[in-house]
Each structure stands twice: as C-alpha cells, then as structure tokens.
Structure 1
Amino acid sequence: MFDFIRKPEIWRAMDAGFMAEIPGKLSFQLKTMQDLAVYAHLRDYKDMDIAEIGGGDSRILPQLAKSNRCFNIEPFEGADNGPKSEVKIAGVENIRTTVGRFDPVLKDASFDVVFSVSVVEHVVDPEFPAFLEDNIRILKPGGVMYHAIDMYLSDSPTDFWRNRFDMYRKAVTERDDLEPVGLIGAAQPAFTPDMASNPDQIMYGWKTISPSLNDLRQIAQSVSLLIGAKRR
C-alpha cells in the first residue's frame, strides 16, 4: 500500500460507524482521518501482538487492546509535541524507547503489527534507514506495518517533498524483505481535491505550536500518506 488518504475511504469508515469506536480526544482534523484510515485496517485483528510507535495518549490502542496484546513504544519525553510524562492506558504496556535505536528492550520478531500516526514525518532523512530497519526487525515474519505520514502538498511539489515522497515509496516497493499490502496508488506528490486534508481552522491553530511552517501552511495542504507493507 502506498497512497494518500482520500475522502472516499474516510467516508466509508464513517458510514461503518468507526468514529464511535475510537475515543473522541480530538476535534475533527487530519489526525482524526488518519486514525480512521489506520483503524479500518486493524479493527478486525484478534489475539495479535500490536505496537504503536510514538502513540503518546493513543486514540487507537484502547479499542485494539480489547482483543489483542497491545504496546505503546513511546519515550514520553515531550518530543514533537508528544506527552512529557507517562500515559497509562488500560490493557496497553508502555515500552519507553524509540524505534531506530535497535534497543534490545524491543526484541527481534516481537509484533504481528506495528503502526504509527503522524510520527514518521518527524524522522529526519539521514535517520530514516535505521528507523525502517528497526521497524522491520521487530516485526514477526509475515507481520505488517502501517504508517500514516503527514505531508504538505501544493500544486507544484518542492524538491523536499518530492524527495520525501520517493524515499517512502522506495521503502515499500524496492526492498526484498518487504512486500506491499494493498495497492500502490499515488504517482506524484501533488495535491488533488479528493485527498483528506486539514481544515483551515486547524491549520491556523498550529501557528502557535510550530510557527516556522506558517508560510507553508498558507500555500499548501496538510495531507497524509498511508503506507502498508508485510515482512517477507
């Protein structure tokens, strides 16, 4: 799987009532749509070992933990607007580390599913290969990963976002140890009207949290890639 999260899949998830199954901790925004898109792929899993990377005060794990063994891989150090103190969720075990460090606390082939929402975009380019390798390492053979990744797109992609897009695409399509789950869709990082995106008031609200992106937010849409792959 490699495509942008699009309105039809979000509307299908809403029609199916998935919104009522995920704790309503947010106003409706891109993260809500990312949650829905990821949850739609995971909600029917039973008796699995599932880990969220950088889950913080997770909105998805509480529901998945009712039928699975769930883990939150999160240092709780406040990075990238995450929680600065430990958040405990019923039925979820916290593992206080970061993927990409090859920390032995995360054992090889531990999880059937690893996923993240709005995390991978914070992994800088030089560190992405280690993040991906560690992600694969902790997956069981046949295990799957899903990552919803924030991107800013305009009608004319910049080199930065084009390079990011290509890096993510190669991670899913050009490795011998991974195979895509689902279709390979998006061909270029340019905004189209069918993409799920952040409402303008949410974009405005981010001004005080990360003001360095204010100029970009006025000329680009905040959207999300969804990538899915299985460890061979």
Structure 2
Amino acid sequence: MFEFLKKEDYFRWGESGIPLNEPKGLKGAEDAFILSLLRDKLGLKILEMGGGNSRILRLLCDDNECWNIDSFEGKNNGPVREIKIENVRNVVGQLGDFSPELSDDYFDYVVSVSVMEHVPGDMLPKVFEDCRRVLKPGGFVAHAIDVYLLDKDDCDHPHQASVRSRLKTYLESAKSAGLELVEDPAPIEDPYFRGSYVSQADSVMHLWNSLAPKLRPLREIAQVVSLKAVWRKPD
C-alpha cells in the first residue's frame, strides 16, 4: 500500500466507529488509518515511532503491549520532556539508532503518524533497516506521511520534482531494507492534489506559519495530504 489517503476512507472509518481523535485536522484522519489496521486486534506488540504524547497508543495499550520511541527533545513541535503514559513503555531515542532496548524480531507492528517526512533523506535507509530489525517475521510497518501537493497547473514548480524524489526514496529505502509493500503502489508518478484527498485545514497551516515560517510560500499554493504506506517483513 502506497497511496494518498482519500475522503472516502476517512468517512468510512468514522462511520464504522473508529475514533477520530482530531476531527478538524489531518492527524485525525491519519490516526484513523493506523487504527483501521489495528482495530479489534488483541495481544499485539506495537511500537510507535515518534509518538510523543501518543493518541494512538492510549487507545490500544489496554489490549496490546505498546511501546513508544521518541527523543522527547521538542523537535518538530514535539514534547520537550518525556511523557509517560500508563501501560506504554518509552524508549528515549529514534528508530535508525538501533537501540539495544528494542529487541530483534519482537514487534508485530511499527507505526508512525506525521513523522517520516521529518527524517532526512540520507537517514531513511537506516530507519527502514531498524524497522525491519525489530519486526517479527511477517510483521508490518505502517506510516502516515505528510506530503505537500500542488495543483496540476503548477507542474513546473521546483517542489514537484522534490515530491517525486522523496516518494521514490521511501520506496527504494524500504526495498533495500528487505521490506515488501503489502499492495502494489498506486500510480503516483505525477503526484498532484486532487479534491478526493483528505487535506489539512487552512487554519492549521496558518498556525504552522508561525512555527515554521520558511514554508509559508509553499503553504500558500499547496495542500498537505497524507501518504498511507504499509510494508511487510517477509516470513
């Protein structure tokens, strides 16, 4: 699975009773995507990457063994101190560091929401290698990844080439780490914004302008959507 999250998915998940943690923001839809994969499953070992003050693990930790790996250093507007959630075990650090606190072949799922887009491109291979290391054979990696998409009329904008390059890097890094896509990727060689995609509220992007002002020109012409990507570690 390697495709952009659509409104039909989001509406269906909400109608089926999956909690929409932040109904006014993209993260609510991204949470719903991850929860749709884990709903009604019990006894799993789940690791969230960069979960911070995790919304997802709070909903899953009563019936599953839940872990959160996060640097807790305030990066990308994350928490500046360690946040402890009952029944969730924290590991201070980042995937890609190959922390000995995370055992090989241990987890059923590694998941993240709005994290992978912040990983430098040259670090992505190590992140995917570490994901594969900690997963059980047959385990899954599921990432909801923020992407800025332009209208088709902006095909000559330099950002368009950077989007294509970044999507290619995700696919190549996961493949080189030995992970397999759960489904064939959708045809997104020309990734433009479409009205069928779930997107971030403009009010939220206005708030982001004060947190990361360098991206304001891009936010004025782009929409933030979510790439839903799922890989599997071979048996």
| TM-score (norm. length: structure 1) | 0.92
CA distance in 2, matches of 1:176, 1:97: 20
Match of 1:75 in 2: 71
Aligned-residue offset at 1:10: 0.3
CA distance in 2, matches of 1:34, 1:126: 25
Aligned-residue offset at 1:171: 4.1
Per-residue CA distance 1:49-100 (angstroms, 9 max, x = gap): 1010000011110111121000011121111111011111121111111101
User: Which 5+ residue runs of structure 1 have no aligned equivalent?
Assistant: none
What count of residue pairs does the alignment treat as equivalent?
227
Match of 1:121 in 2: 117
Per-residue CA distance 1:133-182 (angstroms, 9 max, x = gap): 1111111111101000011010226211110011123345x458322224
CA distance in 1, matches of 2:144, 2:67: 18
Report the residue type matching 2:196 in the other structure: D
CA distance in 2, matches of 1:119, 1:85: 18
1:1-232 → structure 2 map (5 Å cutoff): 1-19=1-19, 24=21, 26=22, 28-154=24-150, 155=152, 156=155, 158-171=160-173, 174-175=175-176, 177-188=178-189, 189-232=191-234
Q: Are 1:4 and 1:186, in contact at CA under 8 Å, matched by a contact in 2?
A: no
CA distance in 2, matches of 1:35, 1:52: 12
Provide runs of 4+ in structure 1 moved above 6 Å. none
User: Which 5+ residue runs of structure 2 have no aligned equivalent?
Assistant: none
CA distance in 1, matches of 2:37, 2:187: 19
Aligned-residue offset at 1:27: 5.8
RMSD: 1.6
Report the residue type matching 1:9 in the other structure: D
| TM-score (norm. length: structure 2) | 0.91
CA distance in 2, matches of 1:14, 1:27: 10
CA distance in 2, matches of 1:45, 1:213: 39
Aligned-residue offset at 1:226: 0.7
Give the direction of change, closer, same or farther, for the CA distance of 1:27–1:196 in structure 2 (3 Å limit). Answer: closer
Identity among equivalent pairs (%):
39
Q: Are 2:23 and 2:29, in contact at CA under 8 Å, matched by a contact in 1?
A: no
> Secondary structure of 2:142's match?
strand
> Secondary structure of 1:158's match?
helix
> Secondary structure of 2:227's match?
strand
CA distance in 2, matches of 1:64, 1:185: 29
CA distance in 2, matches of 1:170, 1:195: 24
CA distance in 1, matches of 2:198, 2:65: 30
